[in-house]
Amino acid sequence: MDEVREVFDASTDFTIGLEEEFAILDPESLDLVDRYPELYEAARQDPVLAESAAGELIASEIEIRSGRSESMNEAVAKQEEKRRHLFAIAARKEVALASLGTHPWADYLEQEIIDTPHYQRLKKDLGWVAKRNNTWSLHVHMGIRGADRAIAVCDRLRELLPILLAASANSIFLDRQDTGLASIRTEIFTRTFPRCGVPGTFRDWDEYTRFIDDLKQFGSIVEATQLWWSVRPHHAFGTVEVRICDAQTTAQESTALAGLICAVVAQTAIDLDEGRQVDEPLRGRQIEENLWRAIRHGLDGQMIDFRGRREIETVQMLEEVLEWTGPARSGLGIDVELPERNGARRMRDQLEAGSTIEEIYRSTVEETTRTYSA
């Protein structure tokens, strides 16, 4: 942990890294297929993807990573090129790629775990939980200089996680049913994985270190990536990583959402640096209440402003967050153009108009292919 502190103390503020996860499908049936090993091998032979493609537990999923970038524009440009190469490989291999939080009908009991020592160890350690995780998300890293400062940013970001989830909500289907939720992915992942969901507050690096040392001493973890919290300090990169969001159907939505996340992280750090005080952090159960509202309703419901003692429309809260992040977005050149209706709302509109779940999923896969491969 002393070495990790050094990583953060040497980190560069506001560098950016993007990670996008895709489901691997049979293009005709749209069923999940365990084709990760051959896609990964092909990616390893591609000079653009050689160091950027990765696995995420199940063999019907592949991830691409932008790598460290000095600006949002650089990160997006890198990721756009990697998307094109990945989708070209998928086309050659005659598989389709999807980008939703869940697969509408795949049976998690049929999912295979990637056959590497790392993932097979997780399979052994997690048991049923490892198989249950057939979910896909968007992760964003932002460099934060200073170990204590990174912990302070994570502490403050906890209460912003629900609004980020609401904006990203894009998984209403599971087991061939409309779940009635906007993000069933979050309900699956945060309620089943250990050391997941909204973390507690740590106040400073020393308190965080004591917690990590306890987990290691008693055999709960062997590496920091086993902390699957929705926001966490990343030990290897010296970044704050936000992991709360559903995967996005279109490339434009993924880019816009990543911009929103970066703006929120950067503005939080700026506020800390400029001495803007906040009240006592919200309690975990208060944040969980708003998280549930995001899971259930996405942007279509209300959230609780516990400090202001009021309910507020979730879309209004999002507008307030956008206004608050104005200085960070301006200073870092981040443009956030979120659609009026997120993925969950669009799918439910299609369902109410009479489309079947299969038709809706096929249309999302086609939209993903069109926008991510462009």
Interval 342-373: pLDDT, tens: 999 999 999 999 999 999 999 999 999 999 99
Q: Half-sphere exposure of residue 158, counting CA atoms within 13 Å on the CB side?
A: 25
The residue among 184, 186, 175 whose CA lies nearest residue 110 is 175
What CATH number corresponds to the domain at position 20? 3.30.590.20
Alpha helices in 107-183 (DSSP H): 117-126, 128-132, 147-157, 161-168
> Residue 324's domain spans which residues?
2-372
The residue among 281, 249, 258 whose CA lies nearest residue 164 is 258
Pair of tokens at residue 31: 């069923």
* pLDDT number for residue 131: 86
- Provide mean pLDDT across the span 135-146: 98
Secondary structure (3-state) at 51: coil
Q: Say what the pTM is.
A: 0.97
Dist CA 267 CA 273 (whole Å): 10
DSSP letter at 201?
-
Our count of domains for the chain comes to 1
Q: With 90 as the cut, is the pLDDT of residue 279 above it?
A: no
DSSP 294-323: HHHHGGGSEEEETTTTEEEEHHHHHHHHHH
Interval 191-207: pLDDT, tens: 899 999 999 999 899 99
- Provide mean pLDDT across the span 305-309: 94
The residue among 106, 100, 91 whose CA lies nearest residue 34 is 106
